[in-house]
Amino acid sequence: MIEDIVRQSPALFLGTRLKRLGERMQADVLKVVERAGLPLQPSHYPLLGALDRHGPLSVGDLVLATGVSQPGVTRNLSRLAGLGLVATEAAGLDRRRKVVALTDRGREMLAASKRDVWPRVEQAVVELCAEADDGLIARLDAIEAALDRKPLHRRAEEAAGAGLSIEPFTDTLAPAFHDINAEWIETMFAMEATDREVLENPRARILDPGGDILFVRAAGLGVVGAGALQKTGERQFELTKMGVLERARGRKAGEYLLDALIRRAGALGAETLYLLTNRKCASAIHLYEKAGFVHDADIMARFGARYARCDVAMRYRGPLLASNRADA
């Protein structure tokens, strides 16, 4: 027997389940509409109801009034216009602004719906919700309000960073700084003298001159990433020696660490923040671009010779906001 995968993973597929539930209910509503002899679709009713309550509205106002996407509103208005139920007219004296209004036939059709369809459907839904759980409607209201406060995509992004935390440099973590960076450098390139100098002497080369080193820790894995801010001039820092262990890839640790390093640069008073890399590091470059770094020929000309492998130089163009917290 084939299992219902949507029911088996209710949280993961909640949107799909709500959609299929809506489609199932709309199919049943359509049967009620057809028995009443009306040439309407259930998806037409929110638009007709909005026009009935508010009077003539623009397409944008109908989007706000119904919560339906603009393409969806436009598509349904076209069908309603084809049925002679709505018409477009000028908004008052402004002949350029158009609004949609119910026609006489539209008002007649809506009156018939209010008499023969809406009360029956509403009562059926009330009974259905009471049979299932009399708090369902209130819970749906609460879910929509929660999505208004914070959309699902933002919640998913934050969930990707769950279990991650930023830690400051300590001498105990110095070996981790070396090993994390040695892993990606030796895998993709060859260790250069300047690499060894920084990785083997992080306090003397990074911290004592006014820079900083941060680490990212992942729950269950320990310290999995590190990155440094090396002071190279007055209010000028190089983002350098940033890496994440292979076993921690896919947990957004690099993105989480990069954000912390940018904020830490602001706290250190940076006005110029730049980095040097190689085009082979395509995924890292994409991450930098997403964070606000742009390719910069001047940075390449001034600092690119520091590494034999350097063929990409980038400067941070976003706001460097001061923060007193290393993990801000």
Beta-bridge mates of residue 167? 215
What contacts 24+ positions apart, CB below 8 Å, involve 81-88? Answer: 83/39, 83/40, 83/109, 85/44, 85/48, 85/109, 86/47, 86/51
Instruction: Could you please state the CATH topology (level 3) that the domain comprising 5-158 is classified under.
Output: Arc Repressor Mutant, subunit A (1.10.10)
Domain residue ranges in the chain = 5-158, 163-316
- Cα separation of 247 and 183, whole Å? 11
157-182 pLDDT, tens digit per residue, is 666 667 899 999 999 999 999 999 99
Q: Give the mean model confidence (pLDDT) for residues 206-216.
A: 97
CB 89 within 8 A of CB 77: no
Q: Which amino acid is at 208?
A: D
Q: 181 near 204, Cβ under 8 Å?
A: no
| Greatest mean pLDDT range, 121-130, 154-163, 234-243 | 234-243
Task: For 289-309, write each residue's pLDDT tens digit.
Answer: 999 999 999 999 999 998 999
Share of the chain above pLDDT 90, in %: 68
Give me the chain's average pLDDT, please. 90
The pLDDT score that the predictor gives to residue 324 is: 38
Q: Could you give the 3-state DSSP secondary structure of residue 285?
A: helix
Q: Which residue has the tokens 């027997």?
A: 1
Residue 133 has pLDDT above 80, yes or no: no
pLDDT the model gives residue 235 = 95
Q: How far apart are CA 158 and CA 315, in angstroms?
A: 26
- At 312, the pLDDT band (50, 70, 90 cuts) reads very high
Percent of the chain with pLDDT over 70: 93
Stretch 94-115: mean pLDDT: 90
Residue 135 confidence (pLDDT) above 80: no
Tell me: pLDDT of 231 over 70: yes
One CATH from 3.40.630.30, 1.10.10.10, 3.40.50.300, 3.30.1780.10 for 163-316? 3.40.630.30
* Both tokens assigned to 158: 């934050």
pTM above 0.85, yes or no: no
DSSP 20-87: HHHHHHHHHHHHHHHHTT----GGGHHHHHHHHHH-SB-HHHHHHHH---HHHHHHHHHHHHHTTSEE
Q: Which of 47-56, 148-157, 163-172, 310-319 has the lowest mean pLDDT?
A: 148-157
* CA–CA gap between residue 188 and residue 10 (Å, rounded): 42
206's tokens: 């990074």
Instruction: Write down the pLDDT at residue 157.
Output: 63
Q: Token match 């440099």: residue?
A: 169
Cα–Cα nearest to 262, from 244, 299, 287: 287
Q: Which residues contact 229 (CB under 8 A, 6 or more apart)?
A: 206, 211, 212, 213, 237, 238, 239, 240, 261, 264, 265, 268, 270, 273
Q: Is 301 exposed, middle or buried (0-12, 13-18, 19+ CB in 10 A)?
A: exposed
pLDDT(90) > 90: no
Instruction: Return the higher-pLDDT residue of 19 and 158.
Output: 19
- As a whole number of angstroms, the distance between CA 191 and CA 309 comes to 10
Answer yes or no: is pLDDT of 326 > 60.
no
Nearest alpha carbon to residue 48 among 32, 30, 91, 40: 40
User: Would you place residue 12 in the very low, low, confident or very high pLDDT band (cuts 50, 70, 90)?
Assistant: confident
- For residue 220, pLDDT over 60 is answered with yes
Residue 193, pLDDT > 60, answer yes
How far is Cα 36 from Cα 115, in angstroms, rounded to an integer?
10
Instruction: State the pLDDT confidence band at 150, using cuts at 50, 70 and 90.
Output: confident
Name the band, by pLDDT with cuts 50, 70 and 90, for residue 323: very low
pLDDT of residue 321: 64
pLDDT band of 252, cuts 50, 70, 90: confident
